[in-house]
Amino acid sequence: MKLILFASLIFGLVACSSVIPPQTLADPIGILGQQVQVEIGGGELQTTALGSGSLTSQFADLDTSSSPIALNLSQSLFKLGFDAETLLETASSLIPCNISITDIKIDVTLRDEVQSYTLPSFRLNKLLELEQDKSNLKKFMTVTEDAFIGIALKEADVAALQKIITSGGNNTAEIRVSVQATSVPDLAPGSILTLTFGTSEATVTF
């Protein structure tokens, strides 16, 4: 199984429908294959370890110049996912055999030369289990089925998002990932989990 997390975003309806079929945009915010390093650590056994990391990416506006009619974004299913492989860096000689990810929060802010927009937070909706690779004790593989969530946006939010992805010049995505985890022994302070984005996809309806 390739992915350990799906985050889905459902945008609210806007006026005007069209005959244009739903379109799938591969890697719309330019993060496929990029890594985020989350510095994490706890104290006593079985306490929750907390950590966060961030990255930025650039992506171009969606080209609508060839469309014979004005396009109005109606709905979108936006997926973010990580590869199954997670790497651990730690100075401790005591490395856990399993890591339980109890929460992942992803905040995405999109901005261009004119404006910015922050999406509602993506949150993990169930426990995520990582199991140590016996051939590499600092590599962990997910053993949990895919998890996903959906968030509805108001019409005004959809309009703001559409302006950013179709006008205003080159865009930047600022992504912050927060993680909560438990393990035995607990992850030592200063430990780093490296997560790799394995999917970035949006299916949009106009």
Instruction: Read off the pLDDT of residues 5-61 as tens digits, 9 standing for 90 and up.
Output: 555 555 444 444 455 677 777 888 888 899 999 999 875 554 689 999 999 999 888
Query: Are the C-beta atoms of 162 and 72 separated by less than 8 Å?
Result: yes
Residue type, 146: D
Residue 158: the pLDDT is: 72
Query: Are the C-beta atoms of 106 and 121 separated by less than 8 Å?
Result: yes
Q: What does pTM read for this prediction?
A: 0.81
Distance (Å, whole) CA 106 – CA 189: 22
Mean pLDDT of 106-121: 90
Query: Are the C-beta atoms of 71 and 20 separated by less than 8 Å?
Result: yes
Instruction: Read off the pLDDT of residues 61-95 as tens digits, 9 standing for 90 and up.
Output: 877 666 655 556 666 667 777 888 999 999 999 99
Percentages (nearest 5) of helix, strand, coil residues in the chain: 5, 50, 45
Question: What is the radius of gyration, based on Cα positions, of the chain?
Answer: 19
Instruction: Read off the pLDDT of residues 123-149 as tens digits, 9 standing for 90 and up.
Output: 877 788 999 999 999 999 988 765 555
DSSP string spanning 46-89?
TPPEEEEEEEEEEEPPP--TT-SS-----EEEEEEEEBSEEEEE
Helices (H), the chain: 155-166
Residue 192: the pLDDT is: 96
